[in-house]
Amino acid sequence: MAKDHFQGKYEVELKYRLTSKSGFLETLSQTPHEVMLENNTESDCYFDTPDLALEAQNKSLCIRTMTPSGIKLWIVKGPEEDRCEATDISDADKALSMLETMGYEIVLKATKSRSIYFVGEFHITLDTLANIGDFAEFAIMTDDESKLSQYREQLEALAAKFGLTQFDLETKSYKEMFTES
Identity of the residue numbered 159: A
Domain harbouring 28, CATH code: 2.40.320.10
- Give residue 163's domain range: 2-180
Across the beta sheet with 133-142, the strand order is 10-17, 133-142, 122-129, 105-119, 34-48, 60-67, 72-77, 84-88
How many separate domains does the chain show?
1
Q: For 127-172, how does the pLDDT look when each residue is reduced to its tens digit (9 = 90+)? A: 999 899 999 999 998 888 889 899 999 999 999 999 999 999 999 9
What's residue 5's pLDDT? 60
Q: For 15-45, how does the pLDDT look when each residue is reduced to its tens digit (9 = 90+)? A: 999 999 999 999 999 999 999 999 999 999 9
Identity of the residue numbered 131: N
Percent of the chain with pLDDT over 70: 97
Provide the annotated active-site residues.
46
